[in-house]
């Protein structure tokens, strides 16, 4: 359980208290202030970012141990520093086999952060950091904490307690997405993965619909079918719908759901194929977002449209050079079977436009290695011809520290996607600018809706854990989407 709490730590005994300490300013009042200056008397601790010192049974409070964590200089302390503090404190406690912790919230005085944002960040770091994906380990070595309290004044507890429910709904979405992404591909082939999404959506009473390969063939979803052709586990198109009464706006979220990307006949080499279970991270982010909406209940209608396939080479697989017809009607020459994401996305986009007539459509996908070359593996690429939508996405990502950077969509690059035989080629004729040409390919199918594309090939997963995310899927996009939709509402 995680909550905001006011405790008199001079009178009530607690086992573990974690206190954030600033290098050049005071973040606390009264007893916590005294304790922090006591900690700073130790040579090894100045409150610099990353420093840590533990005092046992310090005078003045009834705490078995107090963990002081340095946050660095005041001007550098932002909400992300607070998430990191909370996440790290929890990680430390989990490693020490403790079961509970009290996190001292800094007072807003010196900080240039709004009080509600302070609590939000601490709660996020706590919820996200207190999670272990150990389903596949026989011996479970580390257990999440049972009890986390964020220590503040009685006034703040009263004023901000509604935040806890909200942050919990959002972070549980992120954790769900992380688990789906980290799940190995043998346990999430298209049929199984679509059932996982629907099961979770139904728990929240969302409307769901699944188009099977039969429906997709009959409906002429030629691009999704072509990508799924090589696998024995056939494609699906999943709809998750959050439709509040009286909604004035509809946003459609489209998520790439390739449960494993071998590259197909253009088989990926060793070094490029091992992590491809993560190629459904967009789908995970979209499903988890719509499920979170059922709990957050914004005024906007939010629909998730999720194409799910496994990209495999086989005797029945689509070949390079084949020409297919997309749901929207355009024909496509398959220049490369490894450029499969854009194919399933365009059929899902066309389906979303036709079925839901959204005002705004955003797709999210682990689409190109080229985007990682451009922005590294921590920052997503945002592509849109709609300045307001692009800025809203970048701003939402800034707020949640899911960093996103706008990329250009030059019209003259469009000719790189020309085909001699079909309307378009799914592969660019240039070696360069692969993230851009992928976005330009999608743009051909965005219709008249305000549309944006987010390439998360980089930030969808991490090889090494951080303070509030284990190694594996990061759940990137869920918090960003929740923030974006909340702002659309306002
Ligand atoms: N799933 C990959 C993109 C990817 C690469 C995601 C690395 C995460 C990490 C995508 O389907 C792909 O293979 N893209 C190709 C496109 C190319 C064939 C035009 C790529 O990026 O090389
Ligand atoms: Zn691919
Ligand atoms: Zn892919």
Condensed to tens digits (0 to 9), the pLDDT of residues 224-262 reads 999 999 999 999 999 999 999 999 999 999 999 999 999
Closest CA to 54 of 39, 32, 70: 39
pLDDT in tens, 326-381: 999 999 999 999 999 999 999 999 999 999 999 999 999 999 999 999 999 999 99
**Average pLDDT of the residues in 132-145:** 95
Q: Tell me how far the alpha carbon of residue 368 lies from the centroid of ligand 1, in angstroms.
A: 4
| Residue 65 Cα to ligand 3 middle (Å) | 48
* 342 catalytic per annotation: yes
Task: Report which bound ligand comes closest to the CA of 374.
Answer: 1
Concatenate the DSSP letters of all residues of 352-393 into one string. Answer: HHHHH--SEEEEEE---HHHHHHH-SS-EEEEES-HHHHHHH
pLDDT score for 489: 72
Q: Quick count: other Cβ atoms within 10 Å of Cβ 266?
A: 18
Catalytic residue among 91, 342, 450, 479: 342
Report the separation in Å between the CA atom of 348 and the middle of ligand 3, taken as the mean of its atom positions: 15
Nearest ligand, measured from the Cα of 263: 2
**Residue 320 CA neighbour count, 13 Å, CB half:** 11
Stated as kind and residue range, the H or E segment containing 57 is none
Task: Give, for ligand 1, the residue of 369, 375, 459 to mutate: max count of ligand atoms closer than 8 Å to Cβ.
Answer: 369
Q: DSSP string spanning 95-139?
A: HTT--EEEEEPPPTTTSSS-HHHHHHHHHHHHHHHS----TT-SS
Give the atom of ligand 1 at the shortest distance from the alpha carbon of 427: 19
Closest CA to 336 of 228, 399, 263, 286: 263
Of residues 110 and 485, more confidence is placed in 485
pLDDT for the residue numbered 490: 62
* Cβ neighbours of residue 196 closer than 8 Å, sequence gap 6 or more: 180, 188
* pLDDT at 17 (0 to 100): 97
Question: In 10 A of CB 23, how many CB atoms?
Answer: 17
List, for residues 278-297, the tens digit of each pLDDT value.
Answer: 999 999 999 999 999 999 99
Q: What is the pTM of this model?
A: 0.98
- How many angstroms does the Cα of residue 280 sit away from the middle of ligand 2? 11
First and final CA of the chain: distance in angstroms?
30
As a whole number of angstroms, the distance between CA 166 and CA 173 comes to 11
List the catalytic residue out of 62, 100, 268, 295. 268
Residue of minimum CA distance from atom 22 in ligand 1: 369
Residues 154-169 have a mean pLDDT of 96
Q: What angle do CA 386, 388, 394 make, to 5 degrees?
A: 100
Cα-to-centroid distance, 452 and ligand 1 (Å): 19
Give the ligand 1 atom nearest the CA of 261: 1
- Give the pLDDT mean for 85-94: 98
Q: How far, in Å, CA of 305 to CA of 237, rounded?
A: 7
Nearest CA to ligand 1 atom 9: 457
SS (H, E, C) 245-307: CCCCCEEEEEECEEEEECCCCCCCCCCCCCCHHHHHHHHHHHHHHHHHHHHHCCCCEEEEEEE
d(CA 283, CA 366): 10
Say if residue 49's pLDDT is above 90: yes
What is the pLDDT, as a whole number, of residue 422?
98
Which residues contact ligand 1 via a Cβ below 6 A? Answer: 261, 279, 336, 338-341, 366-370, 427, 434, 457
**Active site (annotated) includes residue 146:** no
């Amino acid at each position: 359980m995680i909550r905001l709490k006011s405790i008199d730590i001079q009178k009530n005994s607690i086992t573990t208290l974690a206190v954030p300490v600033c290098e050049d300013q005071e973040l606390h009042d009264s007893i916590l202030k005294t304790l922090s200056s006591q900690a700073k008397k130790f040579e090894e601790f100045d409150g610099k970012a990353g420093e840590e010192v533990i005092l046992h049974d310090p005078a003045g409070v009834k705490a078995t141990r107090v963990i002081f964590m340095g946050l660095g200089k005041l001007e550098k302390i932002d909400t992300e520093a607070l998430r990191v503090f909370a996440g790290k404190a929890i990680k430390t406690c989990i490693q020490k086999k403790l079961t509970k912790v009290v996190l001292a919230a800094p007072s807003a005085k010196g900080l240039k952060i709004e009080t509600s944002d302070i609590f939000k960040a601490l709660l996020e770091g706590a919820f996200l950091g207190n999670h272990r994906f150990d389903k596949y380990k026989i011996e479970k070595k580390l257990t999440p904490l049972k009890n986390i309290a964020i220590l503040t004044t009685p006034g703040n507890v009263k004023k901000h307690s509604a935040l806890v429910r909200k942050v919990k709904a959002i972070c549980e979405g992120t954790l769900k997405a992380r688990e789906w992404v980290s799940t190995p591909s043998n346990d999430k082939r298209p049929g199984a993965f679509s059932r996982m999404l629907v099961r979770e959506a139904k728990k929240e009473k969302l409307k769901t619909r699944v188009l099977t390969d039969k429906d997709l063939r009959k409906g002429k979803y030629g691009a999704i079918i072509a990508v799924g052709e090589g696998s024995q586990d056939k494609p699906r198109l999943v709809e998750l719908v959050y439709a509040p009464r009286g909604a004035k706006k509809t946003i459609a979220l489209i998520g790439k759901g390739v449960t494993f990307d071998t590259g197909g006949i253009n088989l990926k080499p060793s070094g490029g194929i091992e992590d491809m279970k993560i190629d459904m991270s967009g789908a995970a982010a979209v499903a988890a977002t719509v499920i979170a909406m059922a709990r957050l209940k914004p005024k906007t209608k939010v629909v998730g449209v999720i194409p799910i396939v496994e990209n495999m080479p086989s005797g029945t697989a689509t070949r390079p050079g084949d020409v297919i017809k997309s749901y929207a009607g355009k024909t496509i020459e398959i220049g490369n079977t490894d450029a499969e994401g854009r194919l399933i996305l365009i059929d899902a986009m066309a389906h979303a436009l036709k079925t839901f007539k959204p005002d705004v459509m955003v797709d999210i996908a682990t689409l190109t290695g080229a985007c990682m070359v451009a922005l590294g593996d921590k920052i997503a690429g945002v592509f849109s011809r709609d300045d307001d939508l692009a800025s809203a996405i970048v701003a939402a990502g800034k707020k949640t520290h899911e960093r996103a950077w706008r990329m250009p969509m030059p019209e003259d690059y469009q000719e790189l996607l020309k085909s001699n035989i079909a309307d378009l080629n799914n592969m660019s004729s240039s070696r360069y600018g692969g993230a851009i040409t992928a976005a330009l390919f999608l743009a051909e199918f965005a219709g008249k809706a305000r549309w944006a594309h987010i390439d998360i090939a980089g930030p969808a997963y991490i090889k090494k854990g951080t303070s509030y995310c284990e190694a594996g899927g990061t759940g990137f996009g869920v918090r960003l989407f929740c923030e974006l939709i909340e702002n659309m509402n306002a």
